[in-house]
């Protein structure tokens, strides 16, 4: 069967079809195609050895100035001389708008031409909004926003609402910006145990669960982003705490070359998490929203330590072999050999939605060595979770669900 691929003109057509009726109309098809074409071509380039990744918004200054937002939501800077909208200009400016809190601003001028007229700086990560019940309230500009996250990978938004994804030449592309929710809700780690003594006796609420989940995802995003930027690839395996001895025993599926002893003073990440829980309770509210708003210096120092932890996790993962952690984020070891080569596996399944209700069968050998090792491990040890970062920057999550090895392609961190 021939696989059809979508290119800028096709994407522009699809955007016109899916654009919200209440939104300001998109520019004519020819102009929109030009806008997308530059983004697409720039995604194939490198800037000082790194692939181009960036964010952009298609809007005039007047359109942005009339947005129903406050001064603290975002601010604009305008170039003294507008720049041409082309892939080389985008390549050169991309380091300044790598994060979703910064965007290049493009507008249509006379005769249907496009120009780069400035930059937009926001305090909100609008491209991390979940499509599920955990909606994050953001105040993104109500315009066409684009995240360029890799070669041919473009995600289009109206404000904070994701409208269309292009990945691997396909619209939608089976890629996700958020981690699969099932990993964070009761299965990814033991929330109340990880929170430590300060949380004992609390009437545990969804807001407290949200804090635990979001902080751990923040740490993992940082580690995976650093690994992707280095280009060395990574395989992370998370195992249930009570299964560590069994899975790493002689003859079992995990053989750590560099096994780490538990530190006498307690494991690093749980210790940091418990300190943050304690401090937030002292400040009056254990919630992700409160944490994000807080300017408390102790919390800021603890956040910096969490980021350092993520960095050395990424560094250990650069050693050949897998990095193995418990579901409470204790580091078991690195340089881990996965001994599941005898496990028969011919087919795995790509998740087409975050809950893996819709699946697409694919051959088990469609990926590289790390992917095949993760697939066989998850088949042999059902409770393990795996994250695979390939050398080209692609990220997959792998898990066994009802006897099937399922993977989620991730778009961004």
pLDDT score at 132: 37
Would you kindly state where each structural domain of the chain is located, as residue ranges? 8-173, 181-410
**pLDDT at residue 183, as a whole number:** 54
The CA-based dihedral angle spanning residues 139, 175, 169, 224, taken in that order and rounded to the nearest 10 degrees:
90
pLDDT at 269 over 90: no
- Quick one: tokens of 349? 């399944």
Q: Single out the residue of 134, 103, 70 nearest to residue 289, CA to CA.
A: 134
Which phi and psi (to 5°) does residue 29 adopt? -55, -40
Q: What is the pLDDT of residues 82-95, one digit of tens each?
A: 999 999 999 999 99
Contact 306, 228 (CB under 8 A): no
Average pLDDT of span 339-351: 86
Cα gap 356→403, rounded to integer Å: 13
pLDDT at 114: 95
Q: Is the pLDDT of residue 161 over 70?
A: yes
Q: What percent of the chain has pLDDT over 70?
A: 84
CA distance 142 to 11: 20
Kindly state the tokens that stand for 66: 């009339």
Q: How far apart are CA 12 and CA 7, in angstroms?
A: 9
The residues near 280 (Cβ < 8 Å, ≥ 6 apart) are: 211, 286, 287, 290, 291, 294, 299
251 Rama class: left (phi>0) / alpha (psi -120 to 50) / beta? left
Q: Is the pTM of this model over 0.75?
A: no
More confident call, 69 vs 157: 157
The answer on pLDDT for 69 being more than 70 is: no
Q: Would you state the pLDDT for residue 413?
A: 52
At 4, is the pLDDT very low, low, confident or very high (cuts 50, 70, 90)? low
Average pLDDT of the residues in 304-318: 90
Same topology for domains 8-173 and 181-410, yes or no?
A: yes
pLDDT class of 119 with cuts at 50, 70, 90: very high
Determine the pLDDT at residue 302.
93
228-232, 301-305, 342-346: least confident range: 228-232
- Tell me the C-alpha distance between 49 and 285, whole Å: 44
Selection from 74, 69, 130, 82 nearest residue 108 by Cα: 82
Domain 8-173 top-level CATH class:
alpha beta
pLDDT tops 80 at residue 108: yes
What is the pLDDT at residue 348?
A: 95
The answer on pLDDT for 320 being more than 70 is: yes
Find the mean pLDDT for residues 57-84.
82
Q: Which of 243, 268, 241 is nearest to 253 (CA)?
A: 243
Identify the residue whose tokens are 């004519």: 28
What's the pLDDT at 179?
58
Per-residue pLDDT, averaged over 55-69, amounts to 86
The segment with the largest mean pLDDT, out of 5-19, 30-44, 195-209, is 30-44
Q: Residue 135 pLDDT more than 90?
A: no
Distance CA 399, CA 383 (A): 8
pLDDT tens, residue by residue, 272-286: 888 998 999 999 888
Whole-number average pLDDT of the chain: 83
Superfamily of domain 181-410: DNA integrity scanning protein, DisA, N-terminal domain (3.40.1700.10)
Tell me the percentage of the chain whose pLDDT exceeds 90.
40
């Amino acid at each position: 069967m021939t696989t059809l691929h979508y290119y800028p003109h096709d994407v522009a057509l699809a955007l016109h079809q899916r654009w919200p009726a209440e939104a300001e109309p998109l520019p004519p098809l020819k102009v929109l195609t030009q806008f997308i074409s530059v983004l697409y071509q720039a995604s194939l380039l490198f800037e000082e050895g790194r692939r181009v990744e960036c964010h952009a918004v298609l809007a005039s200054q007047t359109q942005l100035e009339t947005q129903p937002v406050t001064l603290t939501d975002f601010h604009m800077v305008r170039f003294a001389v507008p720049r041409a909208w082309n892939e080389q200009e985008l390549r050169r400016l991309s380091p300044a708008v790598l994060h979703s809190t910064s965007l290049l601003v493009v507008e249509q001028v006379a005769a249907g031409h496009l120009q780069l007229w400035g930059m937009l700086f926001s305090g909100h990560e609008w491209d991390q909004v979940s499509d599920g019940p955990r909606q994050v309230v953001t105040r993104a500009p109500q315009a066409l926003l684009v995240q360029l996250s890799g070669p041919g990978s473009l995600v289009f938004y109206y404000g904070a609402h994701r409208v269309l994804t292009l990945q691997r030449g396909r619209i939608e592309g089976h890629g996700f910006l958020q981690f699969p929710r099932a990993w964070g809700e009761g299965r990814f780690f033991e929330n109340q145990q990880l929170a430590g003594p300060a949380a004992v006796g609390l009437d545990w609420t969804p807001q407290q669960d949200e804090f635990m989940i979001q902080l751990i995802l923040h740490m993992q995003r940082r580690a995976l982003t650093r690994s992707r930027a280095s280009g060395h690839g990574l395989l992370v395996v998370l195992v249930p705490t009570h299964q560590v001895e069994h899975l790493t025993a002689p003859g079992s599926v995990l053989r750590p070359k560099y096994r780490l002893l538990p530190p006498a003073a307690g494991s690093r990440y749980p210790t940091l998490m418990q300190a943050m829980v304690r401090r937030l309770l002292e400040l009056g509210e254990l919630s992700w929203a409160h944490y994000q708003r807080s300017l408390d210096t102790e919390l800021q120092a603890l956040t910096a330590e969490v980021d350092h932890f993520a960095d050395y996790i990424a560094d250990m993962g650069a050693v050949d072999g897998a990095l193995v952690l418990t579901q409470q984020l204790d580091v078991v070891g690195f340089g881990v050999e996965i001994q599941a080569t005898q496990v028969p596996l011919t087919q795995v399944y790509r998740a087409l939605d975050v809950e893996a209700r819709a699946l697409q069968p694919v051959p088990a050998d469609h990926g590289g060595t790390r992917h095949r090792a993760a697939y066989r491990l998850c088949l042999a040890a059902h409770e393990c979770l795996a994250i695979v970062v390939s050398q080209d920057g692609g990220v997959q999550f792998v898990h066994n669900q009802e006897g099937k090895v399922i993977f989620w392609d991730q778009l961004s961190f």
